[in-house]
Amino acid sequence: MYDRKQLKKKAEKARDKKAAIGPDIDLDEFDDAPVPHSYLADEDMCALPESDQKRLIMAGMDVTQKDRGGTYFQKDTEVIHCHSQQEGIEVIPIKKALEKHNWVEEYYWKLVAVDADKYTAAAELGLHDGYVIRALPGSRSIYPVQACLYLDKDGLQQNVHNLIIAEEGSELHIITGCSSSLHMKRGIHVGISEFFIKKDAKLSFTMIHNWAEDMVVRPRSVARVEEGGLFLNNYICMKPVRSLQMYPTSHLVGKDAIARFYSIIVGSPGSEYDIGGRIFLKKPGNRAEIIARMISNGAKIINRGHLIGEVPDIKAHLECRGLLLNGGLIHAIPELEGHVDGVEMSHEAAVGKIAQEEINYLMSRGLSQDEATSTIVRGFLSVDIPGLPPQLKAEIDKAIEESDKDVM
Amino acid sequence: MLIIEDLRVELSNRIILQHIDLEIKPGETHMLFGPNGSGKTSLLMTIMGYPQYKVLSGKIMFKDEDITHMPINERSQLGIGMSYQRPPTIHGLKTRQMVNLCAKGEVDEEELASRVNFKDFLERDVNAGFSGGEIKRSELLQLMAQNPDLMLFDEPESGVDMENISLVGRTIAELLQRNGFYTEGKSKLQAKHEREKMGLIITHTGHILDYVTADKGQVLFDGMLSSVENPREILKCIGESGYEECVRCMTGSN
């Protein structure tokens, strides 16, 4: 078993360390004591109350597991379902992996620093569980693996650590939903994710957040993409949240490695989002793209984007568009850093309102003002994400369709 | 029938149209000529109902209804449609979806698109990166799905290449029920009687007249409209002596 004494020691020192950005949260307000839940067999999953199932579906989790390559389901602090139904794809709870598989040491806390801030420290000191999803060399996932981190107990602090490993030449698609039950009001989710995309591997990771109004969310994630690898990172959040702060980072360390981040945020009144993406381009032929679409209905949204070109022959683009529909604030902070001659980097940011000209154009085709507006908003949110399997595209479209009802 | 009476229109605190009288009977198509900046597009936008074109006096009647202050979408529902010269791009809305919206129900987009050689563009966002000629075909495709009774065309032939000009011309003729197919097996008079679609077409070059016959020509000059029977004659007159002279000669004034 992996001896984590050193890690714990480092974490202990960072127990009260404030994060570099985002409002500081007093973790003492939350309870991280384990909440027992019993394991669910396949048939039990389908017997979950309909209201729960509906919440889960909105976070991309299908209890019937149809068209899914595997499932990881954690409720509060317990793993309640975990299995893979696809050859070459492993889905293992991280606590079990830490106990049984020595290879986990090569990945655990290797990209995210355990002492980065109080949240990373808490995830080590009070680890509940999390998933290890690994695609063996050359394996191709036909259906996406689904992972769901569900909060049910009011006032809970959920500490999760995930490892996602796409071995050489593999292709892996993951849809992960984080959600809370209807009656749950307050809580904090701390989620560490480390992504390893090896030579010529392809990983698409689509995260759908579906929280409650008084939830605090602090994901911490870092990816490492080797030669010829592709990392597609999609993030969708259309539901209220008290405070969400994350700044996922990718390191492109092999030549021709590619990373693309797409995020879609619909911000509700009283919610505060501080999100962004940072990509380091370290080898020739690297490509990076960060694309964000944000709508504020009275939320405070800070969108950061940071591209760092360290060598010639790299291309990177940042695009950040915001619509203020109903008050609130959108603050776009795009950053480009070119360190040598021969980098090609660009950014495009726009914050504004729906163009009246577009509304009129659609009205002249017979749509009412409201229909025209919602058509434009839906179009604004539907970004084309190249390389996404059709099932995931359908999930994203469904989430947008759902949010449409709330936006209007 | 479209009837415009003594219309005065303001845009950004400037009078851009005045004393406009126009009558388009069912089945009629009119050509609209005039120098750049004379207000041709403004007239079309006013008929379509764009709120920035403020009607100060006069009225617009369509199908016996006073539409002078009617919202754009209600005019559209009443049967007015427009083919724009520079329509906005709608990001994230596929041309295929747009065609469906225009048709308000089931429609064979593929078949319609193939008629204007536009099948390859159905999955593209509406007007995103379209060339001048592609915009024209996209606009026609939308009008085909919409099938309005009065069609306003803003320079449908500008920017269209030689190969597509006849396609565009023939499509407009078809929309306005002025193609050979429609008149087949009928006498010219009979076809004319049965024709219901109305058109108002802005043109500079008159190339469109090679494909679409017109009942009347209108010249807009200095915000005023003058009309004559034969559009080809106007074209010839404008070519020889310019707009101003042409209008003076038509109205018989000095």
Residue B65 has pLDDT above 80, yes or no: yes
Per-domain residue ranges for chain A? 5-354, 355-408
User: Which residue, among A293, A365, A376, A407, would best test binding to B if mutated, counting the most B CBs under 10 Å from its CB?
Assistant: A365
Q: B142 and chain A: CB distance < 8 Å anywhere? A: yes
Q: What is the pLDDT of residue A384?
A: 77
Of A62-76, A176-190, A223-237, highest mean pLDDT: A223-237
C-alpha A328: how far from chain center: 23
Find, among A64, A381, A73, A52, the residue nearest to A237 by Cα.
A381
Mean pLDDT of all residues in A156-171: 97
B78 in contact with A, Cβ within 8 Å: no
- pLDDT band, residue A295 (cuts 50/70/90): very high
The chain B residue lying nearest A375, using CA atoms, is B93
Is the pLDDT assigned to residue B185 strictly greater than 80? no
Q: B98: helix, coil or strand? A: helix
All residues of chain B having their beta carbon less than 8 Å from the beta carbon of residue A381 are: 92
- Residue to test with chain B: of A295, A360, A364, most B Cβ within 10 A: A364
- In chain B, what residues touch A361 (CB-CB under 8 Å)? 84, 87-88, 90
Contact residues on chain B for A362, CB-CB shorter than 8 A: 90, 101
* B77/A366 Cβ within 8 A: yes
Give the residue carrying structure tokens 């409209």. B225
Give the A-side interface with B, CB within 8 Å. 355, 357-358, 360-369, 372, 375-376, 378-383
Tell me if B213 sits within 8 A of B183, measured CB to CB. no
Cα distance from A116 to chain B (closest Cα, Å)?
39
Lowest average pLDDT, out of A50-64, A212-226, B63-77, goes to A50-64
More confident residue, A41 or B6: B6
- State the Cα–Cα distance between residues B19 and B77, nearest whole angstrom: 27
Nearest residue of chain B to residue A363 (CA atoms): B73
Mark yes or no for CB contact B91/A381 under 8 Å: no
CB < 8 Å to B73, chain A = 363-364, 366-369, 372
CB B97 within 8 A of CB B138: no
By C-alpha distance, which of A374, A273, A392 is closest to A329? A273
Which band of pLDDT confidence, cut at 50, 70 and 90, is reported for residue A240? Answer: confident
Question: What is the rounded distance in angstroms from the CA atom of residue A350 to the CA atom of residue B7?
Answer: 40
In angstroms, the separation between the Cα of residue B186 and the nearest Cα of chain A is: 33
Is the ipTM higher than 0.90? The answer is: yes
Residues A18-41 have pLDDT tens digits of 999 999 999 999 999 999 998 988
Asked if B100 reaches chain A (Cβ–Cβ under 8 Å), the answer is no
Report d(CA A225, CA A164) in Å as an integer: 12
Q: Note the helical H segments in B185-230.
A: 188-194
Alpha-carbon distance of A270 to A226, in angstroms, equals: 40
Note whether A378 contacts B92, CB cutoff 8 Å: yes
pTM of the model: 0.84
CA-angle at A178, arms to A177 and A181, nearest 5°: 120
Res. B254: pLDDT tops 50: no
Top-tier CATH class for B2-251: alpha beta
CB burial readout B158-175, b (16+ within 10 A) else e? bebeeebbebbbbbbbbb
The 3 state secondary structure assigned to chain A is CCCCHHHHHHHHHCCCCCCCCCCCCCHHHCECCCCCCCCCCHHHHHCCCHHHHHHHHHCCCCCCCCCCCEEEEEECCEEEEEEECCCCEEEEEHHHHHHHCHHHHHCCCCCCCCCCCHHHHHHHHCCCECEEEEECCCCECCCCEEEEEEECCCCEEEEEEEEEEECCCCEEEEEEEEEECCCCCEEEEEEEEEEEECCCCEEEEEEEEECCCEEEEEEEEEEEECCCCEEEEEEEECCCCCEEECCCEEEECCCCCEEEEEEEEEECCCCEEEEEEEEEECCCCCEEEEEEEEEECCCEEEEEEEEEECCCCEEEEEEEEEEECCCCEEEEEEEEEECCCCEEEEEEEEEECCCHHHHHHHHCCCCCHHHHHHHHHHHHHCCCCCCCCHHHHHHHHHHHHHHHHHHC
pLDDT tens digits, A251-290: 999 999 999 999 999 898 999 999 999 999 999 999 999 9
Residue A381's pLDDT band (boundaries 50, 70, 90)? confident
8 A C-beta contact, residue A238 and residue A399: yes
Contact B73 A379 (CB under 8 A): no
Among chain B residues, CA nearest to A368:
B73
User: Token pair of B147, please?
Assistant: 């099938």
Note the pLDDT of residue B252: 61
- Position of tokens 């900046």? B37
Mutation site, B91, B96, B144, interface A, largest A CB count within 10 A: B91
pLDDT tens digits, one per residue of B23-64? 999 999 999 998 888 999 999 999 999 999 999 999 999 999
How many CB atoms are closer than 10 A to CB B146? 23
Determine which of B46, B53, B83, B93 to mutate to test the interface with A (most A C-beta atoms within 10 Å).
B93
Q: Nearest by CB to A382, which of B48, B81, B92?
A: B92
> How close A348 gets to chain B, by Cα (Å)?
15
What was the pLDDT predicted at B178? 86
B49, B82, B88 ranked by CB distance to A355: nearest: B88
Using the beta-carbon criterion (under 8 Å), do A358 and B72 form an inter-chain contact?
A: no
Return the domain boundaries, chain B: 2-251
Query: For tokens 């776009």, what's the residue?
Result: A332
% of chain B surpassing 90 pLDDT: 67
Chain A residues closer than 8 Å to B48 by CB: 364
* Model confidence band, residue B116 (pLDDT cutoffs 50, 70, 90): very high
- Measured in whole angstroms, the distance separating CA A364 from the mean position of its chain's CA atoms is 40
- Among B46, B47, B72, B99, most A C-beta atoms within 10 A, so best to mutate, is B72
Q: How far apart are CA A226 and CA A283, in angstroms?
A: 10
